[in-house]
Amino acid sequence: MIRKLRRKFVLINMSIVTVILAAVFLGLLSMTRAGAVDDSMLVLRRAASNENAVNALSENAMSVQIPFFAVDVDTAGHIVILNGSYYDMADYEAIQSIVAASIRQNEEIGILDEFNLRYYRQTTPFGVRIAYADTSFEQSVTSRFTKSAMIIGGATLLLFFGISVLLARWAVKPVAETWNRQKNFIEDASHELKTPLSVVMSSADMLIGHPDERGERAAQWTQNIKAEAVRMRALVEDMLSLARVENTSAPVQMETVNLSALVTDSALQLEATAYENGKSLEYDITDGVCVCGGKPQLQQLIDNLLTNAIHYSSEKAKIRIALTRHNKKVLFVVENDGEPIPKDRLSHLFERFYRLDGARSSGGCGLGLAIAKGVVERHHGKIWAESENGVNRFVCELPGLPLNACYTLGTSDINENNH
């Protein structure tokens, strides 16, 4: 699909450029040819009036002289050559043939293709006066312009083709990345759902195949179904959350959020969970730190980072939380003791379904950090991971509000954030 999209982009671009170039060259060709005809007509009128037609073009800022001649033809058909610079003036029979051909046409202005001449005829009291000019100059100008246009046009089209190919790759790159991410997301989601669905189906088959089973085995099958159903629900909820934060067309209800209160609230709620896992929380939270954003999304960001730290830290680890203000930015840092993360894998931590151990069954869905990244980006911030000296650190940088912004919140709003 992406390849077809690139081809369509190049085809459309080249079609537009070709049409524009063709229109420009045809317009210039028409103007060039019209100019050459005007020069010829200037010479013809001068010659017909028996003026100095030789200098006509130099007076018209032209350096090329057009061969011409003029004749008078009386009523009896006698031909008198008046003037001219035509190269074949000595051939009287040729002159007669030319005059006869122009008289047969019976037009004031015309072209004699067989002689490569343009003529201009005037009626006189004694007959007609006819001036002739060589059309080789017109044909030469037209031919040279056409050849130059073809060379320049071909080179221009080749240049635009190369530019179009580069532009197509650049323009389609976001679509290709989105397409690949969507494809990988579907494959990973299907893989994640496949295991719990297999467990549910096998446990259900066992219950159906042993309807009289009432002991521990039946309870275990039932428990398997319940556990995997909970796991699938968590996965579906995470996928929906990720879809919401990545859907840039969906508006986020922005408000002034007391981030200090949110971080404190989340830390207090997860302190018991950390204690049950043999870990402890330490936090340094600056009061009165506010940002402009969606409160539910920011709450999810904090919860995901804290939960990730509790789940993936080493035994009896300390989880440290810090919220500080740095100039106009707000820094939210969560770090924990744990196995070092290779530097080449730090940037991949925020990808969908990515796990360091490569095992899909090691707990979690692998979407928590991807959701966190989506929330931060929706709030025009940055998030990154660091790992050094046995400490893994996740840092969020968000645009902060002025120090007095939290004071604009009512006392009831702050109390609501703290409870």
Q: Is 365 left (phi over 0), alpha (psi -120 to 50) or beta?
A: alpha
Indicate if the pLDDT at residue 333 is higher than 90.
yes
Quote the tokens at residue 208: 């159906």
Instruction: Using alpha carbons, select from 373, 372, 375, 395 the residue that is nearest to residue 385.
Output: 395
CA distances in angstroms from 383 to 133, 313, 333, 355, listed in the order given: 80, 19, 10, 18
User: In terms of pLDDT, which residue wins out, 136 or 409?
Assistant: 136
Strands 318-326 and 280-285, how do they pair? parallel
For the stretch 166-190, pLDDT in tens is 888 888 887 777 777 677 667 767 7
Indicate if the pLDDT at residue 369 is higher than 60.
yes
Indicate if the pLDDT at residue 336 is higher than 80.
yes
Kindly state the helix (H) or strand (E) to which residue 296 belongs, with its residue range. helix 295-312
Q: How far apart are CA 206 and CA 222, in angstroms?
A: 10
Q: Give the pLDDT confidence score for residue 320 in this predicted structure.
A: 92
Quote the tokens at residue 353: 């379904």
For the stretch 32-74, pLDDT in tens is 888 888 888 888 888 888 765 444 444 444 445 788 888 888 8
Q: Give the pLDDT confidence score for residue 54 in this predicted structure.
A: 46
Neighbour count for residue 388 (Cβ, 10 Å) = 10
User: In terms of pLDDT, which residue wins out, 158 or 339?
Assistant: 158
Q: How far apart are CA 35 and CA 53, in angstroms?
A: 17
For the stretch 75-96, pLDDT in tens is 888 888 887 776 666 778 888 8
Quote the tokens at residue 287: 């009061």
How much is the average pLDDT of 103-128?
A: 88
Residues in contact with 252: Cβ distance below 8 Å, sequence separation at least 6, in sequence order:
293, 294, 297, 378
- Residue 162: strand pairing partners: none
Indicate if the pLDDT at residue 212 is higher than 80.
no
pTM of the model: 0.54
Indicate if the pLDDT at residue 398 is higher than 90.
yes
Q: Give the pLDDT confidence score for residue 248 in this predicted structure.
A: 62
User: In terms of pLDDT, which residue wins out, 47 or 21?
Assistant: 21
Q: Is 336 helix (H, G, I), strand (E, B) or coil?
A: strand
Q: How far apart are CA 15 and CA 150, in angstroms?
A: 17
- Residue 325: strand pairing partners: 330
User: In terms of pLDDT, which residue wins out, 11 or 212?
Assistant: 11
Least confident window among 250-264, 270-284, 307-321, 354-368:
354-368
Q: Give the pLDDT confidence score for residue 298 in this predicted structure.
A: 92
> Which of 64-73, 156-165, 210-219: highest mean pLDDT?
156-165
Q: How far apart are CA 310 and CA 315, in angstroms?
A: 10
User: Would the CA dihedral through 203, 208, 213, 214 be positive or negative?
Assistant: positive
Indicate if the pLDDT at residue 368 is higher than 70.
yes
